[in-house]
Structure 1
Amino acid sequence: MTHCTDKQPVDGEHGPLAPPPASHLPLAILAIIAFFPLGVMSLTRSVTVGNLWEQGDYDASVRASADAKSWAMRSFSAAVALTVLASVGVLLGQR
């Protein structure tokens, strides 16, 4: 595999490959703040997206991008669920 001057991977006979998929890095950083354990999974997958794309493994980079977003959503869901449970616990504890 060769590289163009703009560092975009190329396929010898088909020219430049598709642009890299979104890494969802900002979302992953927010996910770490929301719920750390699942946020770390999101961040790990997010960082992998660019590396896989540069290696020419576009399909794996797309999967890593989807995984990063999925783990971030799980992190946000866990944070909301824990907040609701804690709020209910506090409200019931006051009775």
Structure 2
Amino acid sequence: MTVDDDLVLRLADLAKLDVSENRLGKLRGDLTRILAMVEKLNELDLEDVEPLRYVTEAEQALRPDRAGDHLDRERAMENAPESDGVFFRVPRVI
């Protein structure tokens, strides 16, 4: 794929970037090098390589989710400065 000024300007427009004329050449060179690296990756023979779901083989490190003791409503409302018996009453914010 050939990277020319029109392509760089189109990509910049799609990305909502304002590219000055003096930066156009550098961006064209950067994009050309990036595409060359991608082309090298496309040359790899990956026929016998299994696709990865994850980069590492890490397991979930969190504890199991188990129900435990909980605070019942009556005890929670005892700690409320003000309540209607079911909900905490708080000052209006808006």
Q: Output the TM-score relative to the length of structure 2.
A: 0.33
Higher strand share: 1
Higher helix share: 1
Compare relative contact order (CA 8 Å, sep 6+) and give the higher one, 1 or 2: 1
Q: Output the TM-score relative to the length of structure 1.
A: 0.33
